[in-house]
Amino acid sequence: MGELMNQNVLKHTGLKISEVSNKVITLEPENTLLDARNTLLRYNISRIVIARDNRAVGIITEKDISRILYTEPQHRQFKEIRLDEIMNKDLIEVNEEKELKSCAKLMLEHNVSSLLVLDKDRLLKGIVTKSDLVHSYAMHCAHRKLVEDLVQKYMTKKVLTVDPDEPIHMALMLMTDNKVSRVVVTRNRRPVGIITGRDLLPISLLFGTGINGHHWHISEQAEARRREQILIPSGIKAIFLAMDVMKYDPITITSDSDLSEAAHIMMRNRISGIPVVDSDDIIVGIITKTDIVRRLASDN
């Protein structure tokens, strides 16, 4: 009986990519980082495919923008940075017949959050993201109440956190160095906020600008010294604190909750990670879309 239940649990992974993929929002290589930032906000998406003649040549995500805010010297504004300068060219492509379970494995293997769907002529047909896989999991795996599907089994116990009064430099550093899309803001080990790449988009307009005629950076030499001493923030990284950009009162979940409940919460609230807390509201982990994709990719 248990074996039959496990087979039913994952039968939806036989779905084809064509059944869950979405239309691609694209820009051209000559467009700017400001164009990408505005498009991400306009369509409420987390990535944009860079294409020419309906053939993908790159991709840029909210995570990339967080990395740029942290690592790039602030000598140019977003409107001066072309996408072909900073786009990720390592694209993972699949055909329309690929199954969801195979796609989940492919995302984990290549550490990516999306796959580009091509037609038989290798033209851009669509895109499938971790959100699409999580949505499928939420729709097909609700209310099973199986031990193997509890949040505690798949959550990440190491949580990257900052205090509310720390400069966003620390959040950017953690997100960039650990290649993650979010950090949790805590006070006395209790989550009070969360910062994601999306929360950083509004302040990105100040990148490379100044206030009252003064530049955020002071000189080439000073900028070089700051890069050598990476823990010394400059520019907007020093001006803004975590509390200035975080989403307050983040949604939380307990470790004994069902994984499909976490998936439903993510889809309903358009979020990609949920802090996991104990009965005292102390943070004990975080469950993300990646963790749910791991469940989809598993063999049992």
Which residues have C-beta within 8 Å of that of residue 300, sequence separation ≥ 6?
6, 148
**Domain count along the chain:** 2
Q: What tens digit of pLDDT does each residue of 4-30 get?
A: 344 444 455 567 777 888 899 999 999
- 14 and 63 housed in the same domain: yes
Angle between helices 259-269 and 130-140 (to 10 degrees): 130
pLDDT at 147 exceeding the cut of 90: no
Print the domain residue range for 43: 2-140
Place of tokens 């700017």: 32
Q: Is 52 helix (H, G, I), strand (E, B) or coil?
A: strand
Domain CATH code at residue 188:
3.10.580.10
- Between residues 7 and 201, the one the model is more confident about: 201
- 175 and 87 housed in the same domain: no
% residues pLDDT > 90 (the chain) = 65
- 291 and 153 housed in the same domain: yes
**Burial per residue of 234-252, b for 16 or more beta-carbon CB atoms within 10 angstroms, e otherwise:** bbbbebbbbbebbeeebbb
- 187 and 86 housed in the same domain: no
Of 140, 175, 205, the one marking the end of a domain is 140
Of 106, 140, 174, the one marking the end of a domain is 140
Strands 253-254 and 273-277: what pairing? parallel
Report the C-alpha gap between 238 and 219 in whole angstroms.
16
- Between residues 16 and 230, the one the model is more confident about: 16
Q: Is residue 183 a contact partner of residue 171, using CB atoms and an 8 Å limit?
A: yes
Facing residues of 118 across strands? Answer: 95, 124
- 132 and 241 housed in the same domain: no
- 198 and 269 housed in the same domain: yes
- 179 and 44 housed in the same domain: no
What is the edge-to-edge ordering of all strands in the sheet holding 114-118?
A: 93-95, 114-118, 124-129
Q: What tens digit of pLDDT does each residue of 156-165 get?
A: 999 999 999 9
- 181 and 132 housed in the same domain: no
Q: Is residue 73 a contact partner of residue 105, using CB atoms and an 8 Å limit?
A: no
- Between residues 272 and 226, the one the model is more confident about: 272
- 204 and 286 housed in the same domain: yes
- Give the Cα-Cα-Cα angle 192, 194, 199 (nearest 5 degrees): 135
